Amino acid sequence: MLRFLDSGESHGAGMLAVVEGMPMGVPVRREFLESELARRRLGYGRGPRMALERDEVEILGGVRGGRTLGSPVALLVRNAEHRKWLKVMSPYGEVEAEPLTRPRPGHADLAGAIKYGTRDIRDILERSSARETVGRVCAGALAKSLLVCLDIHVYSHVLQVGEARVTAAGETPRREEAAAADEDPMRCLDREASLRMREEVDRARREGDSLGGVFEVVAYGVPPGLGSHVHWDRRLDGRLAAAVMSIQAVKGVEVGEGFLLAGMRGSLASDPIYHSKRRGFYRRTNRAGGLEGGITNGEPVVVRAAMKPIPTLASPLETVDLVTKERVAAAVERADVCAVPAAAVIAESAVAFVLADALLEKLGGDSLEELGARFRDLKRRYKAF
């Protein structure tokens, strides 16, 4: 129902995102799109490129008078440093740059070079760079613009950086708490844990190293009934996991309490069901993360992800030159000491896009007005069930 494609390289002219399937009438504010891209640059431990990026959005199509038209929405974000890289990244004729032949361990450099048969890893790293997530955040911002019209809100926060972690991990924050995550330098809701995280980042920076961590995305107001149990590729937990796992450096995803459930007995691992006239069916716990059998159950949708340390290091690891086969130091591109807070923002976009797609899949509708009416009817029917 909803899909997007994006194109562009890290130091190319810009990043282009095209989103198809948005119904007519969804409010689109350029200021909101740019604020979401600015949030992508947040976090203690980011590299110098974050100070250079401004990420101004040009809306090329699909929007008129601040509202979607029902046609594909095209968004362009130009790369601020492209002029400095014209000779290296020119799409016309021969490039004027020495081939980059020292693949970085932990990146797509070597695997991509072998796959595509190139002796210049810049052909790979320019697209595999996390700069690609500009397109995802643009698409996610459009999805959020749709969801918020139905009072569905998606937020994220950081649970762990290095060995520093929050003490109350596993407790889903209230919506107003999650909405305030950006106020903290690490986007962490535990002030003491945030301080420990920043100390870890400072140590890693002094040592020329990097850090990973864990973040959580929570979607509030998601109705029951999105997704399906009938086929593997329609299970919403699988679709969410795939979207978040595809973010650069993410190596593990769990829904709800995930891996913690593996160590519990069955009598403790599930969420007992309750009912009241005011709320309908509800749970007092949310170990399942809002999903059972691949279908949302009306509780907040909770997705956590583990991000590995960024493999580009100020003190590079050893590697093997693609051409000479000699042992050399890996190439060094500018990178962050820690990008976990930013990855959480990108994951918000990924989750929002999947939820918006599942919502349109269930309810359809060519316009926001039509979708809103069906959504209100859905909530009435489920509450009276």
* SS3 readout for 262-313: CCCCHHHHCCCEEEECCCEEEECCCCCCCEECCEECCCCEEEEEEECCCCCC
- Cα 335 from Cα 47, distance rounded (Å): 5
- Cα 280 from Cα 171, distance rounded (Å): 23
Amino acid at 192: E
Q: How confident is the model at residue 135 (pLDDT cuts 50, 70, 90)?
A: very high
Of 218, 244, 101, nearest to 155 by C-alpha is 218
Average pLDDT, integer, range 309-324: 90
Q: Provide the pLDDT for residue 53.
A: 65
Q: How confident is the model at residue 170 (pLDDT cuts 50, 70, 90)?
A: low
Residues 6+ apart with CB under 8 A from 241: 253, 255, 303
Pseudo-torsion of CA 326, 329, 334, 337, nearest 10°? 140
Burial of 208 (0-12, 13-18, 19+ CB in 10 A): exposed
Half-sphere exposure (Cβ direction) of 142: Cα atoms closer than 13 Å: 32
Average pLDDT, integer, range 96-123: 95
Of 164, 194, 215, nearest to 346 by C-alpha is 215
Least confident of 115-119, 170-174, 236-240: 170-174
Neighbours of 46 (CB within 10 A): 18
Q: Provide the pLDDT for residue 333.
A: 77
Average pLDDT, integer, range 334-339: 86
Q: Provide the pLDDT for residue 168.
A: 74
Q: Provide the pLDDT for residue 113.
A: 97
pLDDT tens profile 26-53: 999 999 999 999 999 989 887 655 555 6
Residue recorded with tokens 């890996």: 330
Inform me whether the pLDDT recorded for 325 exceeds 90. yes
What is the third-level CATH fold of 3-383? Chorismate synthase, AroC fold (3.60.150)
Q: Provide the pLDDT for residue 171.
A: 79
Average pLDDT, integer, range 179-194: 96
Q: How confident is the model at residue 279 (pLDDT cuts 50, 70, 90)?
A: confident
pLDDT tens profile 150-169: 999 999 999 999 999 998 76
Inform me whether the pLDDT recorded for 1 exceeds 90. no
Average pLDDT over all residues of the chain: 94
Q: Provide the pLDDT for residue 52.
A: 59
Q: Domain segments of the chain: what residues?
A: 3-383
Average pLDDT, integer, range 221-249: 97
Inform me whether the pLDDT recorded for 175 exceeds 90. yes
